[in-house]
């Protein structure tokens, strides 16, 4: 029986240090870690590697239940997969220990999974409200203003070439092509 740790964060700006220290203090012999790095599959692959690695009798150790997934269904699916392999789970910060196969431990796992999802939904909701209030929805800043886009559309209808327009407005030819395509789509 081995204690195998799993640490995960969702963005490059977040840090794994505190999770790794807690897993080390718990006595994990090996720790798998996922740090989202622009590829959505990075954390998923780290979790898959963990599940492939563990054997019957092992204990997977996390700091919190939500490290196992971003939604209740993901967390519960992971727990089911671990259970099928004969692997138990300990969530250090939440006092969950499924090595004790009693109804209370099972109920705690399900309740905490629900609370983790609810917390995530609150975060998403607050983030969306903040974006709506500030008008900042992320993404790239447009290269052309709405006025410039209308000017480009008018000049395109007058037959001015896309290359000349790209030079005039200091943008790439593909930016002018995008304006042209969007104009054509609106006309349809």
Pair (24, 77) in one structural domain = yes
Domain range enclosing 90: 3-133
Pair (114, 163) in one structural domain = no
Higher pLDDT, 40 or 133: 133
**10 among known catalytic residues:** yes
User: According to the model, what pLDDT value does residue 39 have?
Assistant: 52
- Closest to 78 (Cα-Cα) out of 102, 46, 105, 108: 46
Pair (40, 115) in one structural domain = yes
Radius of gyration of the chain (CA): 25
Pair (94, 172) in one structural domain = no
User: According to the model, what pLDDT value does residue 169 have?
Assistant: 92
Pair (40, 122) in one structural domain = yes
Cβ atoms within 10 Å of 33's Cβ, excluding its own: 18
Distance CA 101, CA 186 (A): 62
Please state the rounded mean pLDDT for residues 100-124.
Answer: 79
| Catalytic site residue from 10, 18, 37, 174 | 10
- Closest to 8 (Cα-Cα) out of 41, 57, 55, 54: 41
**What's the domain count of the chain?**
2
115 pLDDT band (50/70/90 cuts)?
confident
| 188 pLDDT higher than 70 | no
Q: Which residue spans within the chain are E strands per DSSP? A: 3-9, 30-35, 59-62, 88-91, 96-97
Pair (122, 177) in one structural domain = no
């Amino acid at each position: 029986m081995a204690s195998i740790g799993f640490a995960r964060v969702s963005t490059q700006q977040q840090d794994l240090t505190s999770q790794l220290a807690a897993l080390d203090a718990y006595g994990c012999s090996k720790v798998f870690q996922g740090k989202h790095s622009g590829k959505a599959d990075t954390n998923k692959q780290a979790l898959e590697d963990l599940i492939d690695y563990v054997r019957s009798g092992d204990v997977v150790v996390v700091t919190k239940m939500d490290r196992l997934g971003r939604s209740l269904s993901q967390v519960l699916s992971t727990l089911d997969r671990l259970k099928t392999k004969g692997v138990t789970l300990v969530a250090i910060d939440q006092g969950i220990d499924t090595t004790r196969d009693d109804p209370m431990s099972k109920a705690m796992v399900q309740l905490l999974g629900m609370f983790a999802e609810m917390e995530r939904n609150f975060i998403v909701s607050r983030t969306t409200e903040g974006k709506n209030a500030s008008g900042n929805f992320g993404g790239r800043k447009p290269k052309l203003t709405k006025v410039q886009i209308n000017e480009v559309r008018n000049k395109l209808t007058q037959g001015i070439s896309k290359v000349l327009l790209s030079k005039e407005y200091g943008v790439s030819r593909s930016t002018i092509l995008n304006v042209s395509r969007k104009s054509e789509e609106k006309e349809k």
